[in-house]
Chains A and B, each alone.
Chain A
């Protein structure tokens, strides 16, 4: 019998402590664990090192002062190319960064998942990835003359991902066209929490999608949280698309402190239930 790993959002967020490295799944403004991100934004935690194929998760956590460093290749809202809160945080020097290529980022997670200190790659050679990250090293092939970048493992203290369906045991299923790197985020982390749109009986996964959609298995998770509409306002098709109108409102909140405080009061400093009420327009 599989264990019951159902927990609350607050239980999951309580595992995050100051200074931790936190990985967040999804991609840009797509299938982000936003209910958890909102709870993190409300918490007292700070000085986080956030590792993300970044979207509004990074922007909100930067704007609410949770972040020390962002490990990233991009931070985008997709339909709005540049994440405005992240931009402000960068341009004011409020956060430091590790500037990575999208593929180096994948290799860093993979190295952590496989418990090796680095993975070799050609990616980064010749570019200013090396200049921006003075700690990056190259390694010479023991089999020839190739010199390659040694992408260090991106070891995560905690990972948060959002899937469409999950069961009580912490198995997870995605139903959109791209799994992104959510399984790798889980594999790279010491503690792994998955929010899902809906918890179903294990035997009912087959009604939802093919076996290949079962991307997360319970070896990869420590807790599962049912958060209906929990990916809002990011894209979570086929359950729901991106809330473009809300995303515009979010982006506009970067224009001034007053605009942000109004947004924060209405959508951040509220419970998840109040948030869902506010956005069900």
Chain B
């Protein structure tokens, strides 16, 4: 199947994800989620061939595997079962892109549960690997539906460690590297001196006011750019090679 026409929002998001991995070098690029996987594979297929990636499970693959295809051809280069993944993470050789149910201004992340630890109002995923990922490795977040329910002044429980908490650890937080947040509306980072979340760029067709209205705390806003649109070659790779079934569109509809 081929798709024509102007870049979609989902495709802009995939490019923004790909850009998160630029300059990472020979590390395990580990994007979790549909558009993150599209973006990560796009980075590897273009400016980041040195990135190491998995098939989503225990294999390291060197070819660009399409998302959501039942039995894709895999060029298997390595074995990375869960136990080996901890070796990668704890030795600082990974950049993970995780989701979040809640994120606060310093990037403290929650996807464990909402409410009282003894009997939460809403049980979510649990801590999963977030505490270990964030204290050891480069981390970014992907938020497919930017809203004040996700971007909150204070998270219910901290699963992924934010900048203020890492700074409070002093030397103990020296491997903490929380860099980007990509959403369906914009790209954010933590570049200000106090590491508060900053609006970097809005996706084409999105206004700064829309982002502000969809965020439950005050963002740092200076020179806000427009997110890069995919090149013709990137569009071809997304539409023909990486996401032939248009799964990105399901995560972020036009």
- Show the binding face of A for B, using Cβ within 8 Å: 27, 72-76, 81-82, 86-87, 90-93, 96-97, 99-104, 106, 121-129, 131-132, 145-147, 177-181
- A73 vs B132: C-alpha distance when bound (angstroms): 11
B176 within 8 A of A: yes
**From B81, B86, B123, B160, contact of A82 by CB (8 A):** B123
Residues from chain B with Cβ under 8 Å of A96 in the complex: 118
Closest chain B CB from A91 CB (angstroms): 6
Residue interface mask B29-60, A partner, CB < 8 A = 1: 00000000000000000000000000001110
A102-B129, A127-B134 known; A87 vs B159 contact (CB < 8 Å)? no
Q: Knowing that A90-B120, A103-B89 are A-B contacts, what are 6 other residue pairs whose CB atoms are under 8 Å apart, sorted by A's residue number?
A: A27-B82, A82-B124, A106-B83, A125-B131, A125-B172, A126-B165
Distance in angstroms between the alpha carbons of A125 and B161 in the assembled complex: 8
| Residues of chain B from 103 to 142 with CB closer than 8 A to chain A in the complex | 112-113, 117-132, 134-136
Give Cα A253–Cα B161 distance, bound, in whole angstroms: 36
Question: Closest 3 interchain pairs by CB?
Answer: A93-B119, A127-B131, A123-B132
Closest Cβ–Cβ distance, residue A176 to chain B (whole Å): 9
Residues in A with CB closer than 8 Å to B79 are 177
B120 and A91 within 8 A (CB): yes
Q: What is the minimal beta-carbon distance from A44 to any residue of chain B, in angstroms?
A: 26
* 29 contacts across the A-B interface (CB closer than 8 A): A73-B129, A81-B125, A86-B123, A91-B120, A91-B121, A92-B119, A96-B118, A99-B112, A99-B126, A99-B127, A102-B129, A103-B90, A103-B129, A122-B90, A122-B135, A123-B132, A124-B132, A124-B135, A125-B131, A125-B172, A126-B166, A126-B173, A126-B176, A127-B131, A127-B165, A131-B117, A132-B157, A146-B171, A147-B172
Knowing A145-B171, A181-B82, A181-B83 touch, does A74 contact B160 (C-beta < 8 A)? Answer: no
Interface size on B, residues (CB 8 A): 45
Bound together, the chains give a CA A102 to CA B118 distance in angstroms of 20
Q: Are A87 and B123 in contact (CB under 8 A)?
A: yes
Name the residue among B121, B123, B159 with the largest chain A CB count within 10 angstroms: B123
Q: Which has the most chain A C-beta neighbours within 10 Å: B121, B125, B175?
A: B125
Q: Give chain B's interface residues, CB within 8 Å of chain A.
A: 57-59, 79, 81-83, 86, 89-90, 112-113, 117-132, 134-136, 157-161, 165-166, 168-169, 171-173, 175-176
Using CB atoms, name the residue of chain A closest to B159. Answer: A127
The reply to whether B128 and A128 form a contact with Cβ atoms under 8 Å apart is no
> In the complex, which residues of chain A have a beta carbon less than 8 angstroms from the beta carbon of B157?
128, 131-132
Chain B residues within 8 Å of A91, by CB = 119-123
Do residues B172 and A146 form an inter-chain contact, with CB atoms below 8 A?
Answer: yes
| B113 and A90 within 8 A (CB) | yes
| CB–CB A73/B128 < 8 A | yes
Known: A122-B135, A123-B135, A180-B82. A73 touches B127 (CB 8 A): yes
A74 and B128 in contact, given A126-B173, A127-B158 (Cβ under 8 angstroms)? yes
The CA of A131 and the CA of B175, in the complex, are separated in Å by 21
Q: Which residues of A contact B125 (CB under 8 A)?
A: 74, 76, 81-82
Collect the chain A residues with CB atoms within 8 Å of residue B136's CB: 122-123
Which of A86, A124, A125, A145 is most buried by chain B, counting CB atoms within 10 A of its CB?
A125
